[in-house]
Amino acid sequence: MKIRPLADRVVIRKAEAEEKTASGIILAGAAKEQPQIAEVVEVGPGGVVDGKEVKMEVAKGDKVIYSKYAGTEVKVEGEEYTILRQSDILAVLE
């Protein structure tokens, strides 16, 4: 079973704690939003969203920093994902 996000939504899977330590990335929480690191699993088609053209800038496999509270958490076939808008993704780690 596959999650196909609509419009400018992106499905991400949080990086595991071990992986974060290995890459040396630690994220400090700000007052109003908890930044998170995750891997992009599925990318919506973009297109006209709320009357504005949106071009998708992230791709499957990208490691991204996002704002935790912006998305919705779902569990599909035992695995946890977050569905959020691309505009809630702040940056890609390269």
Residues in the chain: 94
- Residues in CB range of 17: below 8 A, 6 or more apart: none
CB of 18 to a copy of itself, least distance (A): 16
Q: Residues 22, 59, 60, 74: which binds a copy of itself (CB under 8 A)?
A: 74
Given 17, 18, 61, 94, the residue binding a copy of itself (CB under 8 A): 94
Q: Applying CB under 8 A, does 17 fall inside the site for a copy of itself?
A: no
Rounded to 5°, the CA angle 92-58-18 comes to 50
Q: State which residue, 27 or 60, has the beta carbon closest to a copy of itself.
A: 27
Residue 21 as a binder of a copy of itself (CB under 8 A): the answer is no
Task: Provide CB contacts within 8 A for 42, sequence distance 6+.
Answer: 2, 3, 4, 5, 10, 11, 60
Which among 34, 45, 42, 35 has a CA at the least distance from the CA of 81?
42
Binding residues vs a copy of itself (CB under 8 A):
1-7, 9, 11, 23-33, 35, 42, 47-48, 50-53, 55, 57-58, 65, 67, 69, 71-78, 80, 83, 86-87, 89-94
